[in-house]
A and B are shown apart, each in its own frame.
Chain A
Amino acid sequence: MSSAVRTQPPSAGATTVLSALLEARTGQQLAANRTWRLEAALGPLLAELALPHADALVARLLDGQDHRIGDRIVDVLLNHETSFFRDAGVIESAVEAVRAAVPLGTRPRIWCAACATGQEPLSLAMLFAEDGGTAPDILATDVSASAIARARSGSYSQFEIQRGLPIRRMMRWFESDGGDWIANKALLSAVSYRRHNLATDPVPGRYDLILCRNVLFYLTPVVRQIVLERLAQALKPGALLLLGAGETVIGQSELLRPSTAHRGFYERVATGAAGL
Protein backbone atom coordinates (compact mmCIF):
# COMPACT_ATOMS: atom_id res chain seq x y z
CA MET A 1 0.00 0.00 0.00
CA SER A 2 1.25 3.48 -0.76
CA SER A 3 2.03 5.71 2.16
CA ALA A 4 -0.31 8.56 2.97
CA VAL A 5 0.30 11.74 1.03
CA ARG A 6 1.81 14.35 3.30
CA THR A 7 -0.16 17.54 3.36
CA GLN A 8 -0.10 20.72 5.31
CA PRO A 9 -2.91 20.71 7.94
CA PRO A 10 -5.96 22.71 6.85
CA SER A 11 -6.36 26.15 8.42
CA ALA A 12 -9.15 26.66 10.96
CA GLY A 13 -11.11 28.55 8.28
CA ALA A 14 -10.81 25.73 5.75
CA THR A 15 -11.77 23.15 8.40
CA THR A 16 -14.90 25.16 9.21
CA VAL A 17 -15.95 25.30 5.55
CA LEU A 18 -15.30 21.59 4.98
CA SER A 19 -17.17 20.62 8.17
CA ALA A 20 -20.11 22.80 7.13
CA LEU A 21 -20.13 21.23 3.65
CA LEU A 22 -20.15 17.70 5.06
CA GLU A 23 -22.86 18.54 7.57
CA ALA A 24 -25.06 20.33 5.01
CA ARG A 25 -24.83 17.47 2.52
CA THR A 26 -25.05 14.47 4.85
CA GLY A 27 -25.89 15.58 8.39
CA GLN A 28 -22.56 14.11 9.47
CA GLN A 29 -20.20 15.87 11.81
CA LEU A 30 -16.50 16.21 11.48
CA ALA A 31 -15.68 16.00 15.16
CA ALA A 32 -12.83 18.12 16.44
CA ASN A 33 -10.87 15.03 17.44
CA ARG A 34 -11.02 13.74 13.91
CA THR A 35 -9.36 16.68 12.19
CA TRP A 36 -6.25 14.53 11.78
CA ARG A 37 -8.41 12.39 9.52
CA LEU A 38 -9.29 15.43 7.45
CA GLU A 39 -5.67 15.87 6.47
CA ALA A 40 -5.19 12.21 5.54
CA ALA A 41 -8.55 11.99 3.77
CA LEU A 42 -7.95 15.04 1.57
CA GLY A 43 -4.38 14.09 0.57
CA PRO A 44 -5.16 11.97 -2.51
CA LEU A 45 -7.78 14.44 -3.79
CA LEU A 46 -5.36 17.36 -3.41
CA ALA A 47 -2.71 15.38 -5.28
CA GLU A 48 -5.13 14.50 -8.08
CA LEU A 49 -6.24 18.10 -8.50
CA ALA A 50 -2.64 19.34 -8.14
CA LEU A 51 -3.61 21.64 -5.29
CA PRO A 52 -1.00 22.51 -2.66
CA HIS A 53 -3.20 22.43 0.44
CA ALA A 54 -6.76 22.22 1.79
CA ASP A 55 -7.18 25.98 1.70
CA ALA A 56 -6.70 25.92 -2.07
CA LEU A 57 -9.34 23.20 -2.28
CA VAL A 58 -11.74 25.35 -0.26
CA ALA A 59 -11.01 28.28 -2.59
CA ARG A 60 -11.87 26.02 -5.56
CA LEU A 61 -15.11 24.98 -3.82
CA LEU A 62 -16.12 28.54 -3.03
CA ASP A 63 -15.42 29.98 -6.49
CA GLY A 64 -18.32 27.84 -7.76
CA GLN A 65 -16.73 26.99 -11.15
CA ASP A 66 -16.41 23.25 -10.59
CA HIS A 67 -19.85 21.82 -9.81
CA ARG A 68 -18.58 18.35 -8.91
CA ILE A 69 -16.01 19.44 -6.37
CA GLY A 70 -18.44 19.47 -3.44
CA ASP A 71 -19.46 15.85 -4.11
CA ARG A 72 -15.86 14.78 -4.40
CA ILE A 73 -14.87 16.42 -1.12
CA VAL A 74 -17.85 14.88 0.68
CA ASP A 75 -16.94 11.47 -0.76
CA VAL A 76 -13.44 11.50 0.67
CA LEU A 77 -14.64 12.77 4.04
CA LEU A 78 -17.15 9.93 4.49
CA ASN A 79 -16.11 6.77 6.25
CA HIS A 80 -16.66 3.88 3.81
CA GLU A 81 -15.25 1.28 6.18
CA THR A 82 -17.11 -2.02 5.77
CA SER A 83 -16.48 -5.71 5.19
CA PHE A 84 -18.26 -8.91 4.21
CA PHE A 85 -20.24 -10.52 7.05
CA ARG A 86 -19.35 -7.75 9.45
CA ASP A 87 -20.57 -9.01 12.84
CA ALA A 88 -21.42 -12.31 11.13
CA GLY A 89 -23.64 -13.57 13.98
CA VAL A 90 -25.82 -10.46 13.81
CA ILE A 91 -26.25 -10.72 10.04
CA GLU A 92 -27.22 -14.38 10.36
CA SER A 93 -29.78 -13.67 13.08
CA ALA A 94 -31.20 -10.84 10.94
CA VAL A 95 -31.86 -13.29 8.11
CA GLU A 96 -33.39 -15.83 10.52
CA ALA A 97 -35.64 -13.16 12.06
CA VAL A 98 -36.88 -12.10 8.62
CA ARG A 99 -37.56 -15.70 7.61
CA ALA A 100 -39.54 -16.22 10.83
CA ALA A 101 -41.58 -13.02 10.40
CA VAL A 102 -42.36 -12.96 6.68
CA PRO A 103 -44.94 -15.52 5.46
CA LEU A 104 -43.65 -18.30 3.21
CA GLY A 105 -43.85 -17.38 -0.44
CA THR A 106 -43.77 -13.63 0.24
CA ARG A 107 -40.71 -11.72 -0.88
CA PRO A 108 -39.04 -10.13 2.16
CA ARG A 109 -38.15 -6.47 1.68
CA ILE A 110 -34.74 -5.42 2.96
CA TRP A 111 -33.11 -1.99 3.01
CA CYS A 112 -29.40 -1.53 3.62
CA ALA A 113 -29.56 2.16 4.40
CA ALA A 114 -25.85 2.97 4.36
CA CYS A 115 -24.25 0.26 2.28
CA ALA A 116 -20.96 2.02 1.41
CA THR A 117 -19.22 -0.23 -1.15
CA GLY A 118 -21.86 -2.94 -0.91
CA GLN A 119 -20.38 -5.78 1.15
CA GLU A 120 -23.35 -5.81 3.53
CA PRO A 121 -26.16 -6.22 0.97
CA LEU A 122 -24.16 -8.91 -0.85
CA SER A 123 -23.59 -10.75 2.44
CA LEU A 124 -27.34 -10.71 3.04
CA ALA A 125 -28.06 -11.79 -0.53
CA MET A 126 -25.71 -14.79 -0.11
CA LEU A 127 -27.39 -15.87 3.14
CA PHE A 128 -30.90 -15.52 1.72
CA ALA A 129 -29.93 -17.45 -1.42
CA GLU A 130 -28.24 -20.22 0.55
CA ASP A 131 -31.19 -20.91 2.86
CA GLY A 132 -33.37 -21.68 -0.15
CA GLY A 133 -36.35 -19.52 0.89
CA THR A 134 -38.10 -16.92 -1.23
CA ALA A 135 -35.56 -14.47 -2.64
CA PRO A 136 -35.88 -11.04 -1.00
CA ASP A 137 -35.94 -7.61 -2.59
CA ILE A 138 -32.79 -5.96 -1.29
CA LEU A 139 -32.32 -2.23 -1.76
CA ALA A 140 -28.87 -0.86 -1.00
CA THR A 141 -28.41 2.89 -0.66
CA ASP A 142 -25.65 5.27 0.29
CA VAL A 143 -25.22 9.03 0.32
CA SER A 144 -22.01 8.75 -1.69
CA ALA A 145 -22.35 8.52 -5.47
CA SER A 146 -18.90 6.98 -5.82
CA ALA A 147 -19.60 4.38 -3.13
CA ILE A 148 -22.86 3.40 -4.84
CA ALA A 149 -21.08 3.18 -8.21
CA ARG A 150 -18.50 0.85 -6.68
CA ALA A 151 -21.18 -1.20 -4.92
CA ARG A 152 -23.11 -1.55 -8.17
CA SER A 153 -19.99 -2.79 -9.97
CA GLY A 154 -19.72 -5.69 -7.49
CA SER A 155 -15.95 -5.48 -7.88
CA TYR A 156 -13.60 -5.88 -4.93
CA SER A 157 -9.85 -5.80 -4.51
CA GLN A 158 -7.98 -8.78 -3.16
CA PHE A 159 -7.82 -7.10 0.26
CA GLU A 160 -11.53 -6.30 0.31
CA ILE A 161 -12.68 -9.75 -0.86
CA GLN A 162 -10.70 -11.49 1.87
CA ARG A 163 -12.17 -9.50 4.75
CA GLY A 164 -14.89 -11.61 6.31
CA LEU A 165 -15.79 -13.63 3.22
CA PRO A 166 -15.35 -17.40 3.65
CA ILE A 167 -13.44 -18.93 0.74
CA ARG A 168 -16.24 -21.32 -0.22
CA ARG A 169 -18.61 -18.38 -0.59
CA MET A 170 -16.04 -16.54 -2.69
CA MET A 171 -15.75 -19.60 -4.94
CA ARG A 172 -19.51 -19.84 -5.33
CA TRP A 173 -20.43 -16.19 -5.74
CA PHE A 174 -17.43 -14.38 -7.25
CA GLU A 175 -15.37 -14.52 -10.41
CA SER A 176 -11.73 -13.60 -10.77
CA ASP A 177 -11.00 -10.56 -12.93
CA GLY A 178 -7.30 -9.79 -13.06
CA GLY A 179 -6.39 -8.97 -9.48
CA ASP A 180 -10.01 -8.17 -8.55
CA TRP A 181 -13.03 -10.29 -7.75
CA ILE A 182 -16.46 -9.54 -9.20
CA ALA A 183 -19.79 -10.74 -7.84
CA ASN A 184 -21.41 -13.05 -10.36
CA LYS A 185 -24.68 -12.10 -12.07
CA ALA A 186 -26.80 -14.31 -9.83
CA LEU A 187 -25.55 -12.51 -6.73
CA LEU A 188 -25.35 -8.97 -8.05
CA SER A 189 -28.84 -9.11 -9.56
CA ALA A 190 -30.24 -9.87 -6.10
CA VAL A 191 -29.54 -6.29 -4.99
CA SER A 192 -30.68 -2.96 -6.41
CA TYR A 193 -28.59 0.12 -5.76
CA ARG A 194 -29.57 3.73 -5.44
CA ARG A 195 -28.05 6.92 -4.11
CA HIS A 196 -30.02 8.12 -1.11
CA ASN A 197 -29.47 10.74 1.55
CA LEU A 198 -30.89 9.63 4.88
CA ALA A 199 -30.97 13.17 6.17
CA THR A 200 -32.88 14.77 3.29
CA ASP A 201 -34.52 12.19 1.01
CA PRO A 202 -37.92 10.57 1.69
CA VAL A 203 -37.69 6.89 2.59
CA PRO A 204 -37.77 4.62 -0.47
CA GLY A 205 -40.56 2.36 0.82
CA ARG A 206 -41.52 0.08 3.70
CA TYR A 207 -39.42 -2.85 4.75
CA ASP A 208 -39.30 -6.02 6.83
CA LEU A 209 -35.70 -5.34 7.81
CA ILE A 210 -33.64 -2.16 7.73
CA LEU A 211 -29.92 -2.12 8.38
CA CYS A 212 -28.39 1.23 9.24
CA ARG A 213 -25.09 0.41 10.83
CA ASN A 214 -22.37 2.79 11.96
CA VAL A 215 -24.00 5.93 10.59
CA LEU A 216 -25.93 7.42 13.52
CA PHE A 217 -22.68 7.85 15.39
CA TYR A 218 -21.52 10.47 12.90
CA LEU A 219 -24.76 12.44 12.73
CA THR A 220 -25.52 15.62 14.63
CA PRO A 221 -28.14 14.99 17.36
CA VAL A 222 -30.85 16.85 15.43
CA VAL A 223 -30.22 14.96 12.20
CA ARG A 224 -29.94 11.68 14.11
CA GLN A 225 -33.46 12.20 15.44
CA ILE A 226 -34.81 12.99 11.97
CA VAL A 227 -33.13 9.92 10.51
CA LEU A 228 -34.53 7.66 13.24
CA GLU A 229 -38.03 9.03 12.60
CA ARG A 230 -37.68 8.29 8.91
CA LEU A 231 -36.36 4.80 9.58
CA ALA A 232 -39.29 4.15 11.94
CA GLN A 233 -41.71 5.22 9.18
CA ALA A 234 -40.05 2.81 6.78
CA LEU A 235 -40.58 -0.21 9.05
CA LYS A 236 -43.59 -2.42 8.31
CA PRO A 237 -45.52 -3.62 11.37
CA GLY A 238 -43.40 -6.26 13.11
CA ALA A 239 -40.31 -5.27 11.10
CA LEU A 240 -36.83 -4.94 12.57
CA LEU A 241 -34.16 -2.27 12.53
CA LEU A 242 -30.51 -3.17 12.97
CA LEU A 243 -28.02 -0.53 14.05
CA GLY A 244 -24.26 -0.77 14.51
CA ALA A 245 -22.79 -2.32 17.63
CA GLY A 246 -22.84 0.44 20.25
CA GLU A 247 -25.56 2.45 18.52
CA THR A 248 -28.98 2.70 20.14
CA VAL A 249 -32.39 4.34 19.79
CA ILE A 250 -32.73 4.65 23.55
CA GLY A 251 -33.03 8.31 24.46
CA GLN A 252 -32.97 9.22 20.74
CA SER A 253 -36.46 8.46 19.48
CA GLU A 254 -39.92 7.80 20.91
CA LEU A 255 -40.92 5.89 17.81
CA LEU A 256 -38.49 3.01 18.29
CA ARG A 257 -37.70 0.58 21.07
CA PRO A 258 -35.56 -2.53 21.55
CA SER A 259 -37.25 -5.65 20.17
CA THR A 260 -38.29 -8.08 22.87
CA ALA A 261 -38.32 -11.07 20.53
CA HIS A 262 -35.04 -10.34 18.75
CA ARG A 263 -32.18 -9.28 20.94
CA GLY A 264 -30.01 -6.54 19.47
CA PHE A 265 -32.71 -5.33 17.06
CA TYR A 266 -35.14 -2.42 17.30
CA GLU A 267 -38.80 -2.21 16.34
CA ARG A 268 -41.40 0.47 15.81
CA VAL A 269 -43.52 1.42 18.79
CA ALA A 270 -47.12 0.58 17.89
CA THR A 271 -49.05 3.83 17.40
CA GLY A 272 -52.73 4.22 18.27
CA ALA A 273 -55.33 1.56 19.02
CA ALA A 274 -54.95 0.04 15.57
CA GLY A 275 -51.36 -0.90 16.31
CA LEU A 276 -50.91 -4.66 16.11
Chain B
Amino acid sequence: MKTCLIVDDSKVIRKVARHILETLDFAVVEAADGREALGQCHAHQPDVVLLDWNMPVMSGMEFLRALGDETLAKRPKVVFCTTENGMAHIRAAIEAGADEYVMKPFDRETLESKLQIVGVA
Protein backbone atom coordinates (compact mmCIF):
# COMPACT_ATOMS: atom_id res chain seq x y z
CA MET B 1 0.00 0.00 0.00
CA LYS B 2 1.34 3.42 -0.99
CA THR B 3 1.32 6.32 1.44
CA CYS B 4 0.19 9.83 0.58
CA LEU B 5 0.93 12.84 2.77
CA ILE B 6 -1.74 15.53 2.41
CA VAL B 7 -0.41 18.97 3.28
CA ASP B 8 -3.09 21.64 3.51
CA ASP B 9 -4.11 24.19 6.12
CA SER B 10 -7.77 23.56 5.29
CA LYS B 11 -9.24 20.72 7.30
CA VAL B 12 -12.06 20.41 4.75
CA ILE B 13 -9.64 19.98 1.83
CA ARG B 14 -7.68 17.38 3.81
CA LYS B 15 -10.88 15.50 4.52
CA VAL B 16 -12.02 15.52 0.88
CA ALA B 17 -8.58 14.48 -0.39
CA ARG B 18 -8.29 11.78 2.27
CA HIS B 19 -11.62 10.32 1.24
CA ILE B 20 -10.61 10.14 -2.43
CA LEU B 21 -7.15 8.75 -1.64
CA GLU B 22 -8.54 6.06 0.62
CA THR B 23 -10.89 4.89 -2.12
CA LEU B 24 -7.75 4.69 -4.31
CA ASP B 25 -6.17 2.41 -1.67
CA PHE B 26 -3.66 4.85 -0.24
CA ALA B 27 -2.60 5.04 3.39
CA VAL B 28 -3.04 8.70 4.28
CA VAL B 29 -1.17 10.97 6.68
CA GLU B 30 -1.83 14.67 7.09
CA ALA B 31 -0.04 17.91 7.88
CA ALA B 32 -1.43 21.43 8.23
CA ASP B 33 1.70 23.29 7.10
CA GLY B 34 5.10 22.77 5.51
CA ARG B 35 7.05 22.38 8.73
CA GLU B 36 4.70 19.71 10.05
CA ALA B 37 4.95 18.05 6.64
CA LEU B 38 8.75 17.76 6.87
CA GLY B 39 8.30 15.92 10.17
CA GLN B 40 5.71 13.60 8.59
CA CYS B 41 8.11 12.85 5.72
CA HIS B 42 10.65 11.56 8.23
CA ALA B 43 8.05 9.70 10.28
CA HIS B 44 6.15 8.03 7.43
CA GLN B 45 8.34 8.08 4.27
CA PRO B 46 5.36 8.91 1.99
CA ASP B 47 5.43 7.89 -1.67
CA VAL B 48 3.72 11.08 -2.69
CA VAL B 49 2.97 14.48 -1.16
CA LEU B 50 -0.16 16.41 -2.12
CA LEU B 51 0.93 19.97 -1.42
CA ASP B 52 -1.04 23.16 -0.88
CA TRP B 53 0.60 26.47 -1.80
CA ASN B 54 -0.64 29.00 0.76
CA MET B 55 -0.23 27.87 4.36
CA PRO B 56 0.85 29.51 7.61
CA VAL B 57 4.23 28.71 9.24
CA MET B 58 5.75 27.22 6.06
CA SER B 59 4.29 27.52 2.55
CA GLY B 60 4.24 24.81 -0.09
CA MET B 61 7.13 26.40 -2.02
CA GLU B 62 9.19 26.72 1.17
CA PHE B 63 8.47 23.07 1.95
CA LEU B 64 9.51 22.02 -1.55
CA ARG B 65 12.85 23.84 -1.23
CA ALA B 66 13.41 22.48 2.29
CA LEU B 67 12.61 18.95 1.13
CA GLY B 68 15.68 19.04 -1.12
CA ASP B 69 17.93 19.56 1.94
CA GLU B 70 16.41 16.71 3.93
CA THR B 71 18.08 13.30 4.11
CA LEU B 72 15.26 10.89 3.34
CA ALA B 73 15.53 7.24 2.27
CA LYS B 74 13.53 8.15 -0.85
CA ARG B 75 12.31 11.48 -2.11
CA PRO B 76 8.53 11.46 -2.38
CA LYS B 77 6.82 12.60 -5.57
CA VAL B 78 5.38 16.07 -5.04
CA VAL B 79 2.03 17.05 -6.52
CA PHE B 80 1.05 20.65 -5.93
CA CYS B 81 -2.65 21.03 -5.23
CA THR B 82 -3.66 24.66 -5.09
CA THR B 83 -6.05 27.41 -6.13
CA GLU B 84 -3.04 29.22 -7.65
CA ASN B 85 -4.08 28.33 -11.18
CA GLY B 86 -2.06 30.73 -13.32
CA MET B 87 0.73 29.66 -15.65
CA ALA B 88 3.32 31.71 -13.70
CA HIS B 89 2.63 29.77 -10.50
CA ILE B 90 2.61 26.45 -12.33
CA ARG B 91 5.94 27.24 -13.98
CA ALA B 92 7.50 28.32 -10.67
CA ALA B 93 6.35 25.11 -8.97
CA ILE B 94 7.70 22.85 -11.71
CA GLU B 95 11.01 24.77 -11.81
CA ALA B 96 11.28 24.36 -8.03
CA GLY B 97 11.03 20.59 -8.47
CA ALA B 98 7.34 19.68 -8.22
CA ASP B 99 6.46 16.58 -10.25
CA GLU B 100 2.84 17.42 -11.02
CA TYR B 101 0.26 20.11 -10.43
CA VAL B 102 -3.43 19.90 -9.59
CA MET B 103 -5.57 23.01 -9.87
CA LYS B 104 -8.32 23.27 -7.28
CA PRO B 105 -11.14 22.51 -7.42
CA PHE B 106 -10.34 18.95 -8.40
CA ASP B 107 -12.31 15.72 -8.54
CA ARG B 108 -11.54 12.04 -8.14
CA GLU B 109 -10.65 11.52 -11.80
CA THR B 110 -8.24 14.46 -11.76
CA LEU B 111 -6.44 13.24 -8.67
CA GLU B 112 -6.31 9.63 -9.83
CA SER B 113 -4.96 10.63 -13.24
CA LYS B 114 -2.25 12.87 -11.73
CA LEU B 115 -1.19 10.10 -9.33
CA GLN B 116 -0.95 7.72 -12.30
CA ILE B 117 1.17 10.26 -14.18
CA VAL B 118 3.72 10.42 -11.32
CA GLY B 119 3.67 6.63 -11.14
CA VAL B 120 2.19 6.03 -7.70
CA ALA B 121 -1.35 4.93 -8.65
A153 in contact (CB, < 8 A): no
Q: Is the CB of A162 within 8 A of B91?
A: no
Q: Is the CB of B85 within 8 A of A159?
A: no
Q: Which residues of B contact A179 (CB under 8 A)?
A: 85
Q: Is the CB of A166 within 8 A of B110?
A: no
Pairs A–B under 8 Å by Cβ, sample size 9: A158-B85, A158-B103, A162-B102, A164-B113, A167-B90, A167-B101, A168-B94, A171-B87, A175-B87
Determine the distance from Cα of A176 to Cα of B100 in the docked complex, in whole angstroms: 17
Given contacts A159-B106, A164-B117, A176-B86, 16 further A-B contacts (CB under 8 A): A158-B105, A159-B107, A159-B109, A159-B110, A162-B103, A162-B106, A162-B113, A162-B114, A163-B109, A163-B113, A164-B113, A166-B100, A168-B94, A171-B87, A176-B87, A179-B85
Q: Is the CB of A171 within 8 A of B94?
A: yes
Determine the distance from Cα of A175 to Cα of B103 in the docked complex, in whole angstroms: 15
Q: How far is the CB of B89 from chain A (nearest CB, A)?
A: 11
Most chain A C-beta atoms within 10 Å of own C-beta, residue among B85, B105, B113: B113
Determine the distance from Cα of A243 to Cα of B87 in the docked complex, in whole angstroms: 35
Q: Is the CB of A171 within 8 A of B114?
A: no
- Mark A residues whose CB is within 8 Å of B: 83, 158-159, 162-164, 166-168, 170-171, 175-176, 179
Determine the distance from Cα of A164 to Cα of B114 in the docked complex, in whole angstroms: 7
Q: Which residues of A contact B106 (CB under 8 A)?
A: 159, 162
Q: Which residues of B contact A175 (CB under 8 A)?
A: 87
Q: Which residues of B contact A83 (CB under 8 A)?
A: 109, 113
Closest to B117 in A: A166
Number of interface residues of B (CB under 8 A): 18
Closest to B93 in A: A167
Determine the distance from Cα of A179 to Cα of B102 in the docked complex, in whole angstroms: 14
Answer whether A167 and B100 are a contact pair too, CB < 8 Å, given A83-B113, A159-B107, A159-B110.
yes
Task: Work out how many contacts link A and B, with CB atoms closer than 8 A.
Answer: 37
Determine the distance from Cα of A158 to Cα of B87 in the docked complex, in whole angstroms: 13
Q: How far is the CB of B102 from chain A (nearest CB, A)?
A: 6
Closest to A162 in B: B110
Most chain A C-beta atoms within 10 Å of own C-beta, residue among B105, B107, B110: B110
Most chain B C-beta atoms within 10 Å of own C-beta, residue among A162, A167, A175, A179: A167
Q: Is the CB of B107 within 8 A of A167?
A: no
Answer whether A167 and B94 are a contact pair too, CB < 8 Å, given A162-B103, A162-B110.
yes
Closest to A161 in B: B103
Determine the distance from Cα of A10 to Cα of B114 in the docked complex, in whole angstroms: 39
Determine the distance from Cα of A166 to Cα of B102 in the docked complex, in whole angstroms: 10
Determine the distance from Cα of A228 to Cα of B113 in the docked complex, in whole angstroms: 31
Determine the distance from Cα of A163 to Cα of B112 in the docked complex, in whole angstroms: 9
Determine the distance from Cα of A164 to Cα of B103 in the docked complex, in whole angstroms: 13
Determine the distance from Cα of A88 to Cα of B1 in the docked complex, in whole angstroms: 23
Q: Which residues of A contact B105 (CB under 8 A)?
A: 158
Q: How far is the CB of B3 from chain A (nearest CB, A)?
A: 22
Determine the distance from Cα of A179 to Cα of B86 in the docked complex, in whole angstroms: 9
Q: Is the CB of B86 within 8 A of A171?
A: no
Closest 3 CB pairs of A and B: A162-B110, A167-B101, A164-B113
**Chain B 77-99 interface mask (CB, 8 Å, partner A; 1/0):** 00000000111001100100000
